[in-house]
Amino acid sequence: MKLITPVVERWLEEARENPEAFWSKAAEQLPWLRRWDRTFEWTPPTFRWFIGGETNLSYSALDHHVKRGWGGHTALIYLNERGERRLYTYAQLLHEVERLAAALRGLGIQRGDRITIYMPTFPEAIMLMLAAVRIGAIHLVVFAGFGAQALRDRIEASGSRLVFTADVTYRKGKETNLKEIVDAALAAGNGSVEHVVVLQRSSQPVAMQAGRDLSWQEFLAQATGQSGSYLPLEANEPAYILATSGTTAKPKLAVHMHGGYQVHIHSMGQWVFGLKPTDVWWSTSDIGWVVGHSYIVYAPLIAGATTLAFEGALDYPTPDVLWQIVEEFAVSGIFTSPTAVRLLMKYGDEPPSRYNLSSLERVFCAGEVLNAPAWSWLQESVLRNRVPVIDHMWQTETGGPIFGNPYGLGMLPIKPGSATIPLPGIEARVVSPLDGSPLGPGEKGVMVITRPFPGLIPTLWGDPERYARDYWGILPGVYYTGDSAHVDEDGYVWFAGRADEIIKIAGHRIGTIEVETAFLKHPAVAEAGVTGRPDELRGEVIVAFVVLKQDYEPSEELKRELLKTVRTELGPVAVIGELNFVNMLPKTRSGKIMRRVLRAVTLGRDPGDVSTIEDETSVAEARLAWQRLQSDLSPRYDQRPWYPIPWLPSITRSQGSLSGRLASGWSCS
């Protein structure tokens, strides 16, 4: 049975047959200031797109829409967990961005200079991003909540001249003092930093360093006599740099360009997300991550849509925050993370049942694999199959989606747990991690990209050698994603976790995602994180860390049930060495489980750089649970019987699913 529709197949074939013509056609959908001379040049490992073309992200996001008469349309809605609401039209947002651009020029910021933005997801931070790219400066956004050392490392690596911060940020009813963190980061010396600009939000006094620190009002005063106009920029000039999210120990500073990045996020915004000017679009991410850059700020504004920016936690002050906002603002599209879905699933079906969600047309997830049980809860229990819940995959380094279900071109059948297919213009394959040889359907290997595409970073800031080594040098001639995957007989891609997190048990390779998904099949489990530990007999066995839903308590009986569930789902290959109950998992601020931390805890090692972690107490808790388990004299659970049955759900035709919205009409049963 062929699942890829003729329409989507035509797009894929067009991209394969003539990729340069394909991407040139995509680029023509944007308002260029000067058309490019050549579409693509590739001198491995680096490359350039749309050479000679002139553009500007800020112009495409703002000026273009005001010129076409869209200035009165709402561009940005800001809201936070304290109930504050602010709205800006495209004309208003442009006016504010021009003021900040002029102020940046007043402080001497020029084309190519770097600025660091250490601020919450709120309007002033977004305006600063747009103002920086407007004048050809390069912004580095650092998640507001990272510690002083992580901030310092990023400021130094970027060579930033200015640091922008707020005095505080809000999360779960608490205020985090950002200015104190900035002061600590710069305590050993300012380095390249000339000024720290502080936007005061609270009524408490803020310590200001004479000669270095400026208030927001003092910063705005620098705009006097300066122009806020946009600067035409060649397509291959850097727009921003951003550290990778940190599931590995050493974040890298990815560099995205004005031209190729813009083409990729705009194209995928249409092809994958169906972004359109009439959308009220909500990406629940933070501007400190690439999702926030691409799909809170740039792509929705380039599309002319209304974008929501939310500061706070999705379950504070009550578990129904997300559903309340969907109803209040008639949200039509949501982009969230599997972590957020599992968090909301923990609270059950009742909170969303109180709200009118009829405005919602589609929901997208990325960041980690959307496990089938979490997908089923949102798709079936909450949304009643009225709208699709769609998984997809990308990286900080790709700027936008590279694997997904092309909702905007005509949706394909959904296979829960699969990222679907390589998207048009993305040439990918699964290969052997040993020699790079292509693998067939069902064979597990590592995913690689065989040809650059416009959203892919062409270098790392200040470290081209590391770029060549880490991305194009592991398996020569291909871009190494670092993700383990296989492709099924229908061409659908199944990611199993990072390649260095694959667990090898008695010669069998099993993905961390597969095991975590099996745990989630039990109704008591809210989240699970697994890793491997050495075992003399089998090579490795699985160590699991499990978070329970609110109405469940740890017990030996529950532990036995969970082990039986995993073995029923995955068969005898999934040998569970230990199972630990914890209150939280170590995760990055962008929601990815830090399995290397779980492995370090299991092996009694230093977890290394945890500056990107959401809550450092999760490391201590995992370590305590592990130590407690080691002193437990109860029987080893890897000796208990197995009950293997097939794991993955079948895909069958469902008449009338999604209320006729999906042309394919497929769903999971």
- In this prediction, residue 247 has a pLDDT band, given cuts at 50, 70 and 90, of very low
* Domain positions in the chain: 502-639
Is 357 within 8 Å of 329 (Cβ atoms)?
A: no
pLDDT average, residue stretch 60-86? 97
Q: Which residue has the higher pLDDT, 262 or 642?
A: 262
pLDDT over threshold 90, residue 616: no
Tell me what pLDDT residue 626 has.
58
pLDDT, tens digit (0-9, with 9 covering 90-100), for 569-613: 887 778 999 999 999 898 876 677 888 888 888 888 877 666 656
pLDDT average, residue stretch 476-491? 94
Tell me what pLDDT residue 629 has.
57
From the number of C-beta atoms within 10 Å of its C-beta (0-12, 13-18, 19+), residue 549 rates as middle
Tell me what pLDDT residue 624 has.
65
pLDDT average, residue stretch 229-237? 98
Of 33-37, 76-80, 545-549, 609-613, minimum mean pLDDT range: 609-613
- Tokens representing 664 are 């394919």
- Tokens representing 396 are 């900080």
| End-to-end Cα, the chain, rounded Å | 17
Is 609 within 8 Å of 596 (Cβ atoms)?
A: no
Q: Which residue has the higher pLDDT, 622 or 27?
A: 27
pLDDT, tens digit (0-9, with 9 covering 90-100), for 191-221: 999 999 999 999 999 999 999 999 999 999 9
Tell me what pLDDT residue 628 has.
61
Q: Which residue has the higher pLDDT, 279 or 149?
A: 279
pLDDT, tens digit (0-9, with 9 covering 90-100), for 263-321: 999 999 999 999 999 999 999 999 999 999 999 999 999 999 999 999 999 999 999 99
Tell me what pLDDT residue 637 has.
33
pLDDT average, residue stretch 45-74? 98
pLDDT over threshold 80, residue 32: yes
Q: Which residue has the higher pLDDT, 244 or 450?
A: 450
Report the alpha-carbon distance of residue 606 to residue 621 in Å, rounded: 15
Beta strand segments in 295-369, E: 306-311, 333-336, 362-365
Is 613 within 8 Å of 597 (Cβ atoms)?
A: yes
pLDDT over threshold 90, residue 138: yes
pLDDT average, residue stretch 627-632? 58
pLDDT over threshold 80, residue 119: yes
Tell me what pLDDT residue 536 has.
76
Report the alpha-carbon distance of residue 421 to residue 439 in Å, rounded: 16
Report the alpha-carbon distance of residue 435 to residue 447 in Å, rounded: 13
Tell me what pLDDT residue 239 has.
98
- Residue 171's H or E segment, with its range, is strand 168-171
pLDDT, tens digit (0-9, with 9 covering 90-100), for 642-668: 222 222 233 322 223 332 222 232 222
pTM score above 0.95? no
Task: List the one residue out of 614, 316, 254 whose CA is nearest residue 459.
Answer: 254
Percent above pLDDT 70 for the chain:
89
To the nearest whole number, what is the mean pLDDT of the chain?
Answer: 89
Looking at 3.30.300.30, 3.40.80.10, 3.10.20.520, 3.90.930.12, the CATH number of the domain 502-639 comes to 3.30.300.30
Is 16 within 8 Å of 8 (Cβ atoms)?
A: no
- In this prediction, residue 356 has a pLDDT band, given cuts at 50, 70 and 90, of very high
Report the alpha-carbon distance of residue 122 to residue 325 in Å, rounded: 16
From the number of C-beta atoms within 10 Å of its C-beta (0-12, 13-18, 19+), residue 451 rates as middle
**185-189, 244-248, 422-426 — most confident range:** 422-426
Tell me what pLDDT residue 665 has.
28
